[in-house]
Chains A and B, each alone.
Chain A
């Protein structure tokens, strides 16, 4: 039971998933900052700029934080364990 809760709260993803999350977060956030600045400047309205930023942040929390299956498609393949004890006997 406790391990189940731990798994839910930890929300582990694999290494490829971590790389993907990092890439998405950096590109979307910096992209929306640039787009928000340009669109807000063109429309002369700061609310547009911060609206775009808020929307991007909200989307990112939905997409990146839960351990969606797409971040777990490359599980680590461990080598088979070598039975050293059996050999010794």
Chain B
């Protein structure tokens, strides 16, 4: 500590230890907040349309168009260590070949507490298609709204905010919308 350089060295070393402890404390403090908000999710209509596959223009591919309503108040998830919320709506079903599918059809990033009251009606943002290229005879799917809380520092946490009360069946394929 006799020269400026050794003082810089010692003080910055202790500063970085303090910062590490502080960041760890902030990361741990997120576990104090255990909000588990719930909302409502309703599927208003589903259409299945036959279309051309994205990569193989000669192959047919069924696309599902899902219209839905979500309402949820997710403000309790925002605390001092919440950087953003990643919301996603997914369809869960097991097709007739026995493949278990989870497909995200809509998502939204919420960055401010003021925007965390979700009231959205609309249709899927991402293509919803089955891995076997057709939804024919596929068992009904259930839909759920899930969230991922992303912190400024620390662990990522996941949760489920809403779920359809019963599974929704896929209608027969139409040739066009």
A interface residue numbers (CB < 8 A to B): 9-13, 18, 21-22, 25-26, 29-30, 33, 36-37, 40-41, 43-46, 49, 53, 57, 60-61, 64-67
Contacts and interface: CB of A to CB of B under 8 A. Distances in A.
Interface residues of B, number: 22
Interface of B: 1-5, 7-8, 10-11, 14-15, 18-19, 21-22, 25-26, 29, 79-81, 152
Contacts of A49: 22, 26
> Interface of chain B, helix or strand or loop or mixed?
helix
A33 B21 contact: yes
Nearest to A36: B22
B3 A33 contact: no
Contacts of A25: 10-11, 14
A26 B10 CA distance: 10
B15 A29 contact: yes
A53 B22 contact: yes
Contact of A33 (B1, B22, B79): B22
Nearest to B11: A25
Contact of A10 (B4, B8, B19, B26): B4
Nearest to A20: B1
A43 to B, nearest CB: 8
A26 B4 CA distance: 17
A35 to B, nearest CB: 11
A13 B8 contact: no
B111 to A, nearest CB: 14
Nearest to A66: B4
Contacts of B8: 65
A66 to B, nearest CB: 8
Nearest to A21: B1
A46 B82 CA distance: 10
A10 B3 contact: yes
15 contacts: A9-B4, A11-B4, A13-B2, A22-B10, A25-B10, A25-B14, A26-B14, A29-B15, A36-B22, A37-B22, A37-B25, A40-B80, A43-B80, A49-B26, A65-B8
A12 B18 contact: no
Given A21-B1, A33-B18, A65-B4, A46 B11 contact: no
